[in-house]
Amino acid sequence: MKKIKGPAVFLAQFAGDEAPFNTLDALCKWFADLGYKGVQLPAWDKRVIDIDKAAESKTYCDEITGIVNAHGLEITEIASHLQGQLVAVNPAYNSMFDGFAPEECRNNPKKRTEWAVQQLKNCAIASKNFGLNAHGTFSGSLMWHTMYPWPQAPAGLVDMGFKELAKRWEPILNTFDENGVDVCYEIHPGEDLHDGVTFERFLEATGNHKRVNILYDPSHFVLQQLDYLKYIDYYHEHIKMFHVKDAEFNPSGKSGVYGGYQDWQDRPGRFRSLGDGQVDFKSIFSKLTKYNCDVWAVMEWECCIKSPEQGAKEGASFIKKNIIDITEKSFDDFAGGAIDEQQLKNILGI
């Protein structure tokens, strides 16, 4: 078994324009002082990393690594959720997702997709330059608007959707393969990869591409009412990244899984700070450890009630207490003895 690494933190929700959250150096100092051991870098935030420069210059990557290491931290992974989203956007969402793209790509879906694809390829090269072997992202979505079958989807629509999604991702996956890095899709509502069945369909559509893997985040399964523990049983071989994020689901006589278009505070399903929700992290850490999942435990803070500062301060100790120190012995070793082949044969009657 392998010990889960951590605690680490995804910087995306903390980076801002005011100190101490406005530079990588200041962010690293703040989180190191709280007891974190690693940071996950958002590829879209140039206050933290310039992904284009990171793909071009190993020297630049060494400088970024130096800033992080100076505070006793490690870079766990790079994540490109916003760019990954733009690899596949249904036209119904064009205006809403244009904000994720640079100014020159807006109102031009073809150019926006080309930019996103190149960004992902740059992330592959940058990850190699940093010595990383896993990368987190979103799949994007061509079919999410057909998630509930009314009107019913025409025959062949879903097969065509996954075929097209795989076609867009295969050149990216091949670039990641050339650089020895796994692509870990966060299985997430709003994406075409949002549960186990959709992950399997995409994996099959890519010809079981070996770089297609999973960023496991149980909070999104709570909101879908999916068994997040059995998910690990099914897909542990593909889990190469781990977001530690809590959630709760409190249905009422007025609102359920779909949330009634309400604000996050009023939805039955909502994200919470670590320890404030319903996720059974003790069992999750046990299963991931049992299955030898070689992952960093990375806190992703998203809470509709508690402040990010308090959530971050509590998160480090929460993760630390859930990380399991692997035993090197069996609890009943004291009752054993040396191997006696004749005794074994006697017991078996042979």
Task: Look at residue 339 in the predicted model and tell me its pLDDT.
Answer: 84
Q: Which of 249, 288, 253 is nearest to 271 (CA)?
A: 249
Look at the chain and report how many structural domains it folds into. 1
User: For the chain, what is the HEC assignment?
Assistant: CCCCEEEEEEHHHCCCCCCCCCCHHHHHHHHHHCCCCEEEEECCCCCCCCHHHHHHCHHHHHHHHHHHHCCCCEEEEEECHHHHHCCCECHHHHHHHHHHCCHHHCCCHHHHHHHHHHHHHHHHHHHHHHCCCEEEECCCECCHHHCCCCCCCCCCHHHHHHHHHHHHHHHHHHHHHHCCCEEEEECCCCCCCCCHHHHHHHHHHCCCCCCEEEEECCHHHHHHCCCHHHHHHHHHHHEEEEEECEEEECCCCCCCCCHHHCCHHHCCEEEECCCCCCCCHHHHHHHHHHCCCCCEEEECCCCCCCCHHHHHHHHHHHHHHHCCCCCCCCCCHHHCCCCCHHHHHHHHCC
pTM of the predicted model, to two decimals? 0.95
Residue-number span of the structural domain to which 222 is assigned: 5-348
Task: Look at residue 1 in the predicted model and tell me its pLDDT.
Answer: 86
Determine the Cα–Cα distance for residues 213 and 215; give it in Å rounded to an integer.
7
Low-confidence ranges of the chain (pLDDT < 50): none
CATH code of 37's domain: 3.20.20.150
